[in-house]
Amino acid sequence: MLSQFSYQRAASIKEAAEAASRPDVRILAGGTDLLGCLRNQVLQANRLVSLNGLSALKGIRQGPGGGLRLGALTTLTEIAEHRQILDSYSVLAQAAASVGSPQLRNQGTLGGNLCQRPRCWYFRGDFKCRRKGGDTCFAEGGDSQLHCIFGGASCYMVHPSDTAPALVALDAKVSITGRRGTRLVPLSSFFVLPADSLVKETVLQPGEIVTEILLDPPQPGARSAYRKVRERGAFDFALAGAAIVVAMAEGKVRTARVVLSGVAPVPWRSTDAEKTIIGKPLDAAVAVAAAAAAVKGASPLADNGYKVPLVRGILEETLTALAA
Amino acid sequence: MRKSIRERESRTGLSRRRFFNSVASGAAEAAILTVPGAVAAEAAVGQAADGNMVKTVLDINGRSHSLSVEPRWTLLYVLRDRLGLMGTKASCERGECGACTVLIDGAARYACMTLAVEATGAEITTVEGLMRGEELGPVQQAFVEEDAFQCGHCTSGQVVSVEALLRKTPQPSIEQIREGVSGNVCRCGAYANIFRAVQKAAELRKGGR
Amino acid sequence: MPETTAKPWGETKFVGKPIPRVDGYERVSGTAEYPSDVVLPNMLHAAILRCPHGQAQVKRVDLAKAREMPGVRAVLSDADKEAQIPWYAPPGSPGSTGSPTASRLFDPHCRFEGEEIAAVAAETPQQAWDAVRAIRAEYNVLPSVVDMEEALKPGAPAVQESGNRWGAPRETKRGDVAQGFAEADVVLEETYRTSCEIHTPSEIHGSVVRWDGDHLTVWDTNQGPFGIQAPLAAAMSLPLSKVRVISHYMGGGFGSKLNLGKYTVIAAVLARKTGRPVRLFLTREESFRAVGNRPAHIMKLKAGVKKDGTLTALQLTGLGEVGAYPAGTSVGYQVGDLYRCPNVLISESQAFINAGPNRAFRAPGFPQCSWALEQMMDALAEKIGMDPVEFRIKNYSAVCQMQQNKPYTSAGLRECLTEGARAFNWKDARLRSKGSGPWVRGVGVAAGMWGSQSGPPSTVRVSLYPDGSASLNMGAADLGTGTKTVMALVVAEELGVPLDRIQIENADTGTTEFTRPSGGSKTVFADSPAVRSAALEVKARVLEMAAAQLKLPVTDLAFQEGAIVAQGGTRKLAVRELTQLRAQQVVVGVGVRGPDPVDKVVRPFVAQFAEVEVNIRTGETRVLRLVAAHDSGRVMDLLTYRSQVIGGLTMGIGFALTERRIMDAVTGKMANANCHDYKIPTAKDVPADKTVIPIDLHDTECNTTGTKGIGEPATIPTAAAIANAFYHATGIRITAAPITPANVLTLLEERRKRG
């Protein structure tokens, strides 16, 4: 049951940013993540500031030179069904289509998907973990089957977003507005590791709001895909996944981005895997080598060792499929 | 005018939202914008522990309801406990099961994850709104004929999701059907019958029922 | 006297046809009123404070702040005299559940996360929860144990003071297993594990209660109101005549709604305290912890077989988790009964852990047993080079070995296996290429039986009105299985009254007569003969009236399709023309369930077939198709029969692939108490291709409708069939459920490392 809060429908981004700079205020977009957190007392709020009156944050617009500008309030359904995204940024369309359920995609927004809180069952449950001001990461001594194999320290959450790895793979930028103005951050620098913060998952400062996601024009010869492995077909986050964007030239990989989901507290870019494929033809042998490179340095916990072969399997399969 | 538009919609199956956008978008925008202002003003006034009520207007199944709500009241709570529309069911109340699925501007959404204040200005349709008077709508009729339920508690949500699916995709493939109802868990496990009911409903709709 | 004894039906006009439900309209239109939809004037809303620790002693509960919260009308805790209601009663006390220690409604010793501490009634649900959150409770947190094997180790935290083992191991013995293993050509031994499964019905547990003076009326979501009425009357110290329980509709139970819940009693006490009706429905999170589960099991199974396929010995050593209070589920039955085997030893133990007690869950113990036994049967068949279907056909038992080799009233397992195999195209499917990867496919079979319970008692009334319409009055609830429809079909069959002219009153202790709640697949089995008997009595009374009116001997008359026909069909009298019926306006037949057969045993049988594909790179498993062949006796309504089987298959997929409770060992708390982390299958996890094959052997001895029960058999062997198909696809025996990508990849990695 939700506790009391007051409600404010922001009339402008500036007003929303002003209001949201207070620690007891939360920004409401689609609500699918926030209301769950409030219901289970994971978060508290005295006031919700709704962005839903701000049409400037809605919809998909053409960017300079053939790119796209995705308003933060664009729903995941709109992303998944947008003709140009399906054609030119299929990794993103596939990632958006893999989120939750049709209803959650109709309601959930792209901005919200990037800013959602961890799905760790200890964080969401009635456990006072480090990320909620406690002194324990319950995954360390508890059940860690869904936790991270990369980037963990003091907290072993995985980042739950499917669209984030896709956007990192597309080298997207995120436009952030706060009281002091607007800044543009590459999505690859948007998320923070537990080593940098145990209370937040992004670089957003109090009062800052994600307003837009910017996609560069698609590279010539680009191919992309998102592959997600989960326990059931809907209502599920990735056990592991991979967002891959490659640009081919003369039968060889010219540029590549390989970003993993479900394995680290942030979308996990594997530059080792990228290096393995760049300059080579995309074939089965290269896929196997890249997959092996991607899991180097993985440090599984007690229950999630399976994620190492899983990542390998996903990359072998997806890179091979992209070659076809 | 609103009434005539709605009557036309039920005859043609045309999305009223689309109709609005193409014909009367200016008026619709204005209608939407006036309410948020009132909401914000209300909210700014009172923060009392027990009060904090906000005046709102909800458009549900073609009727306009004016009521005061607490900002924390979900659309689900208002539908059931304040307006007596018990067809929409409460189950997980965390957006994880689909029992509370309603149409908001034609799209299937979870009423448990939607604040009532946020639904202001939108066109809301519940399972009751899919009836044709006392007669079952085509999706409901197909569910009965194919026995696409057991206990029936998740069924309202299933029916609403199928309605949304068929409005968008009148002749769905089996994979589109699966995807379309994947946000509605049926613990009795009637899925195979639900798939058949969707196909039957598509036929019934095509036949003008 | 006209004939009132039921003869076996010949050809039927209504029964057995695919007939849409009589309450379909209500269920799809949103007009069906479930208990959670009941709104009473002046009703309050209640909420419960629950223990947040795996095990704790409550030191202090400070209700002062909660009492002052807006809208609060009553608070209740162990400090209140009216809350001193015994619960989990020890042996010898009334309503004993065999609990080693006595407990009460708000017991200060909380043995699992989610035990009740206090409750609040307020004007709105939000206010009730605000107040619950304002209660300050202090706990002495005690060590907890949530793993059954850990619980039995020396020095483990005590769940129950008398020890964590519940009772002595129960043994069932036949012949001499040592000798049986010595005679075998092949002996295999394996340990199988199943996970704890939560019922998660769509409608969550709860009640709305109202007092009228000292009469208590309860709208409760349950599987039969008479199962709630008696314990509730006992808890409230009321006679049965003053407790009325109503459950016209209910949103699923699967065994978890056979019991009286603390919530009902708490609501009743709060309602009495406030003088207002009270609604108390749990949240989904609460329901995961406090209202039952299918316990996890560890089953060590050893089996011996001769080269010719003769079983020589079966030995099962089972350990099950009870939860914090006695409940318990036995898994051994099928090991002792399904297959012919002269030497059997079953030994079962159960351990207390700091978790919610289990409750009956769709065929308690049987899917667990199938997971072990049916995988073992496959492994044995492979070792001796026999087809798994042939191996089962060779070994199924035609008599009930667990009851002194009594014959069955009917036994269609052979037909289930042969007809199922034919529909599945078993032989070809086994030979088809498995694929070169990463997706590989395979097929599997599993058989099963359900240990039906007894039929009586059940009392039903059928009334016929002068206009030819009828009413059916029965105590049974309709869980969504189609009970109302099936029973109305019986009335229609006997009296020729069409379904839309039969009014049904059911599941209300104030207006209907006793039957046990719907569990154990007993409803059609127990109640449809009583309905038939009541209808036959109506028929007899009508014929007597007609005989008097027509001045003909009763033996010359027949009642056909709602009219009285004389011998030769010469004279006809419509029901509305019966002067005596017009004079008295109604004729009532009362039917009771006759005794079960004494010398024979009633059992439903099943064989299911699965095809799966497994991605050997990612560990994903998909069920591609299922065939379910069932001998459950007569099919009453082909539509609802199929639906029950399809539902059972879906539940079996969950048991096999996705469902498991996760307990945090450090805190003793449940980690996945929500519908996201506890994964029920969705539409994307089940095949559209599900074939249901009814095997109807025309059982004339099980009861007067020839029915044996379908709800539970439908889910018994599903997971095992999937596991066998998984093995066929991958060559890997997955002994621990569920078959998640994590478990699959771990096994694939082990195999890879072995080389």
Maximum C-alpha span of chain C:
91
Is B10 a residue whose pLDDT tops 60?
no
Task: Name the residue in chain B with its Cα closest to that of C279.
Answer: B81
Q: Which helix (H) or strand (E) holds C470?
A: strand C470-474
CB contact under 8 A, A39 and B36: no
Nearest CA of chain B to the CA of A72: how many Å?
A: 17
CB-based contact, C674 to chain B, within 8 Å: yes
What's the DSSP call for residue C90? P
Is C690 a residue whose pLDDT tops 80?
yes
Is residue C320 a contact partner of residue C350, using CB atoms and an 8 Å limit?
yes
- Residue C554's Cα: distance from chain center in Å? 44
Is residue C527 a contact partner of residue C593, using CB atoms and an 8 Å limit?
yes
Is B29 a residue whose pLDDT tops 70?
no
What's the DSSP call for residue A129? B
Is B6 a residue whose pLDDT tops 50?
no
Nearest-CA neighbor of C107 among C324, C328, C360? C324
Would C43-142+202-252+257-290 and C297-453+599-754 be classified into the same CATH topology?
Answer: no
The mean per-residue pLDDT over the stretch B139-143 comes to 98
The span from the CA of C157 to the CA of C142, in Å, is 8
Nearest CA of chain C to the CA of B199: how many Å?
A: 12
CB contact under 8 A, B182 and C201: no
Give buried/exposed letters for C485-499 (b at 16+ CB in 10 A, else e). bbbbbbbbbbbbbeb
pLDDT tens digits, one per residue of A213-237: 999 999 999 999 999 999 999 999 9
In the block, tokens 């919530």 appear at C263
* Total Cβ atoms within 10 A of residue B134: 8
- Neighbouring chains to C with at least 3 Cβ pairs closer than 8 Å: A, B
Q: How many CB pairs under 8 A join A and C?
A: 113
The span from the CA of C47 to the CA of C133, in Å, is 10
Q: Which domains, and CATH codes, for chain A?
A: 55-115+158-215 (3.30.465.10), 222-323 (3.30.390.50)
- Residue C274's Cα: distance from chain center in Å? 36
Q: Using pLDDT thresholds of 50, 70 and 90, give the confidence band for residue C645.
A: very high
The span from the CA of A224 to the CA of A169, in Å, is 9
pLDDT tens digits, one per residue of C472-516: 999 999 999 999 999 999 999 999 999 999 999 999 999 999 999
Residue B26: per-residue pLDDT: 32
Q: Report helix, strand or coil for A23.
A: coil
**Residues in contact with C67: Cβ distance below 8 Å, sequence separation at least 6, in sequence order:** C75, C131
Is A29 a residue whose pLDDT tops 80?
yes
Cis peptide upstream of residue C438 (ω within 30 degrees of 0): yes
Is C298 a residue whose pLDDT tops 80?
yes
Nearest CA of chain A to the CA of B165: how many Å?
A: 10
The span from the CA of B177 to the CA of B158, in Å, is 11
CB contact under 8 A, C619 and A313: yes
**Mean per-residue pLDDT over chain A, rounded:** 97
Is residue C612 a contact partner of residue C442, using CB atoms and an 8 Å limit?
yes
Residue C3: per-residue pLDDT: 52
Beta strands in chain B (DSSP E): 54-60, 63-69, 101-104, 107-110, 123-125
pLDDT tens digits, one per residue of C11-22: 999 999 999 999
Is residue A5 a contact partner of residue A24, using CB atoms and an 8 Å limit?
no
Q: Which domains, and CATH codes, for chain B?
A: 2-129 (3.10.20.30), 138-206 (1.10.150.120)
Indicate the length of chain C as a whole number: 755
pLDDT tens digits, one per residue of B48-101: 334 589 999 999 999 999 999 999 999 999 999 999 999 999 999 999 999 999
The mean per-residue pLDDT over the stretch A134-152 comes to 97
Is 3.30.70.380 the CATH number for C43-142+202-252+257-290? Answer: no
More confident residue, B41 or A9: A9
Q: Give me the sign of the Cα torsion angle A10, A11, A15, A16.
A: positive
Q: Using pLDDT thresholds of 50, 70 and 90, give the confidence band for residue C168.
A: confident
The span from the CA of C651 to the CA of C427, in Å, is 27
In the block, tokens 């069906």 appear at C32
pLDDT tens digits, one per residue of C713-749: 999 999 999 999 999 999 999 999 999 999 999 999 9
Nearest-CA neighbor of B106 among B158, B62, B168? B168
The span from the CA of C246 to the CA of C251, in Å, is 14
CB-based contact, C40 to chain B, within 8 Å: no
The tokens describing C739, both together, are 């078959």
Is B31 a residue whose pLDDT tops 80?
no
Q: Which residues on neighbouring strands pair with residue B66, listed in sequence order?
A: B57
Is B8 a residue whose pLDDT tops 80?
no
Residue C725: per-residue pLDDT: 98
Partner-chain residue, chosen from C670, C684, C741, that has the shortest CB–CB distance to A239: C741
Name the residue ranges covered by the structural domains of chain C: 24-33+455-592, 43-142+202-252+257-290, 297-453+599-754
The tokens describing C412, both together, are 């269609």
The span from the CA of A250 to the CA of B171, in Å, is 42
The tokens describing A82, both together, are 């947008």
CB contact under 8 A, B156 and C70: no
Is residue C712 a contact partner of residue C518, using CB atoms and an 8 Å limit?
no
Task: Name the residue in chain B with its Cα closest to that of C222.
Answer: B151
Q: What is the pTM of this model?
A: 0.95
The span from the CA of C225 to the CA of C203, in Å, is 16
Per CB-CB distance under 8 Å, the chain B contacts of C635 are none
- Neighbouring chains to A with at least 3 Cβ pairs closer than 8 Å: B, C
Residue C4: per-residue pLDDT: 59
Suggest the residue from B69, B92, B153, B196 to mutate for an interface test with chain C (most C CBs closer than 10 A): B153
- For the sheet containing C136-141, what is the strand order? C109-110, C56-62, C136-141
Residue B51: per-residue pLDDT: 54
Q: Using pLDDT thresholds of 50, 70 and 90, give the confidence band for residue C691.
A: very high
Cis peptide upstream of residue C738 (ω within 30 degrees of 0): yes
Partner-chain residue, chosen from B87, B187, B191, that has the shortest CB–CB distance to C201: B187
CB-based contact, C748 to chain A, within 8 Å: yes
Per CB-CB distance under 8 Å, the chain C contacts of B129 are none
Is B25 a residue whose pLDDT tops 70?
no
Is B124 a residue whose pLDDT tops 60?
yes
* Total Cβ atoms within 10 A of residue C751: 13
Nearest CA of chain B to the CA of C692: how many Å?
A: 11
Exposure of A297 in the CB half-sphere (CA atoms within 13 A): 13
Q: Which fold has domain C297-453+599-754?
A: Aldehyde Oxidoreductase; domain 4 (3.30.365)
Is A252 a residue whose pLDDT tops 60?
yes
The span from the CA of A232 to the CA of A238, in Å, is 10
Nearest-CA neighbor of A1 among C129, C36, C288, B70? C129
Per CB-CB distance under 8 Å, the chain A contacts of C684 are 232-234
* Total Cβ atoms within 10 A of residue C318: 26
Task: Name the residue in chain A with its Cα closest to that of C131.
Answer: A3
Q: Is A208 left (phi over 0), alpha (psi -120 to 50) or beta?
A: beta
The tokens describing C189, both together, are 């031994």
The span from the CA of C610 to the CA of C656, in Å, is 12
Residue B103: per-residue pLDDT: 98
Indicate the length of chain A as a whole number: 324
Is residue C745 a contact partner of residue A309, using CB atoms and an 8 Å limit?
yes
The tokens describing A104, both together, are 């959650």
Q: Quick one: three-class SS letters along C199-219?
A: CCCCCCCEEEEEEECCEEEEE
Residue C369: per-residue pLDDT: 98
Indicate the length of chain B as a whole number: 209
Residue B16: per-residue pLDDT: 34
Alpha-carbon radius of gyration of chain A: 19
The span from the CA of C280 to the CA of C265, in Å, is 10
Q: Which residues on neighbouring strands pair with residue A252, listed in sequence order?
A: A249
- The most confident of B18-32, B44-58, C561-575, by mean pLDDT: C561-575
Is residue B143 a contact partner of residue B149, using CB atoms and an 8 Å limit?
yes
Burial class (CB within 10 angstroms; exposed 0-12, middle 13-18, buried 19+) of B169:
middle
**Mean per-residue pLDDT over chain C, rounded:** 96
Per CB-CB distance under 8 Å, the chain B contacts of C20 are 144-145, 147
The tokens describing A105, both together, are 């995609």
Is 3.30.365.10 the CATH number for C24-33+455-592? Answer: yes
pLDDT tens digits, one per residue of C144-156: 999 999 999 999 9
Q: Report helix, strand or coil for C93.
A: coil
The tokens describing B72, both together, are 């924390």
What's at C185, amino acid-wise? D
**Residues in contact with C669: Cβ distance below 8 Å, sequence separation at least 6, in sequence order:** A125, A126, A127, C52, C53, C54, C113, C663
pLDDT tens digits, one per residue of C382-397: 999 999 999 999 999 9
The span from the CA of B207 to the CA of B196, in Å, is 17
Suggest the residue from B113, B120, B182, B184 to mutate for an interface test with chain A (most A CBs closer than 10 A): B113
